[in-house]
């Protein structure tokens, strides 16, 4: 059985305890962090990848696996993976994640008019990024 992290017609709002007042690009480091990889994959090509694509490509880059290795992808998703609600982008860096009808994802900075419109859109499912700390 293949598990999935994909959402459709969903807006993941920033975590309640997110410290960023606006969308901040994660810092570039010698060894890219998960936040940096997620940011690059989504920001450079909005609405071109699903959550599963982002999760797999991040894992593949960190583990030296080809991003077109379907067998490795099947092995990774044979067990459940954390979805983008656990991404540092929504927990720490101030980015909402909008998933369109086809499950493709884009970043939305929390200070933007687009964020406010998506957060108020009754046609979307709404959830929040996971908190960094327990309430």
Q: Where are the domains of the chain?
A: 10-128
Taking the CA atoms of the chain, what radius of gyration do you get in angstroms?
14
Average pLDDT estimate for 4-33? 95
Q: Contact, 26 vs 32, CB < 8 A?
A: no
Mean of per-residue pLDDT scores for the chain? 95
DSSP string, 2-15: ------SSEEEEPP
Its pTM stands at: 0.93
Task: Grade residue 30 by pLDDT with cuts at 50, 70 and 90.
Answer: confident
């Amino acid at each position: 059985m293949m598990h999935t992290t994909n959402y459709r017609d969903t807006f993941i709002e920033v975590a309640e305890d997110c410290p960023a007042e606006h969308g901040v690009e994660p810092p570039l480091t010698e060894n890219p962090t998960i936040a940096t990889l997620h940011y690059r994959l989504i920001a450079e090509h909005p609405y071109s990848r699903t959550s599963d694509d982002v999760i797999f490509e991040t894992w593949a880059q960190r583990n030296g696996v080809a991003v077109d290795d379907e067998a490795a992808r099947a092995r990774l998703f044979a067990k459940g993976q954390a979805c983008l609600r656990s991404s540092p982008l929504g927990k720490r860096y101030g980015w909402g994640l909008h998933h369109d009808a086809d499950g493709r994802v884009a970043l939305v900075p929390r200070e933007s008019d687009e964020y406010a419109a998506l957060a108020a859109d009754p046609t979307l499912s709404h959830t929040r990024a996971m908190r960094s700390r327990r309430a």
